[in-house]
Amino acid sequence: MQNPNRLWFLLNWQAWIVLLMGAVATVIVSFITRSNQGWIITIGVIGYMLVLLLDIIGGGSLGRSAVVRLANAEQENRELRAEQARLVGGVTELKAKQEELMKTLTEAKAELEKLKEPAGPK
């Protein structure tokens, strides 16, 4: 589904502040060194892009309905992980019980074999 706000990246005030700081740094460095240091603005542009990237990673560019869907998906994921842990615990308990029963069965078979043996010479 497409984001209805195509220019969402222009609404990020933190990115604009970083870009503005890059521009101010360019002016200050150019004034101090008395030379054209326009390349420094690229630091502001890179900072702008980094802020946008962090915003995307954090989910800040999502709309309201997307945030709700994301929260629901995260909740379902937590529930599924809890169910998985419960099932794994149950399987572990069943394996332990099976081993115990197999040990008991082996002991019972050994006792049965002892009982089947002849009592000796009469």
Q: How far does Cα 102 stand from its chain's mean position?
A: 41
| Whether the predicted pLDDT of 40 surpasses 80 | no
DSSP H helical segments within 12-63, as ranges?
13-33, 41-57
Q: Record the pTM.
A: 0.45
- Of the pLDDT bands very low, low, confident and very high (cuts 50, 70, 90), residue 4 is low
- Of the pLDDT bands very low, low, confident and very high (cuts 50, 70, 90), residue 30 is confident
pLDDT for the residue numbered 52: 81
pLDDT for the residue numbered 20: 85
DSSP conformational letter for 34? T
C-alpha span between 12 and 45 (Å, rounded): 14
Phi and psi at 85, nearest 5°, equal: -65, -40
pLDDT for the residue numbered 107: 94
- pLDDT tens across 53-97, in order? 887 777 666 667 777 888 899 999 999 999 999 999 999 999 999
Angle in degrees, CA 6, 10, 12, rounded to 5: 115
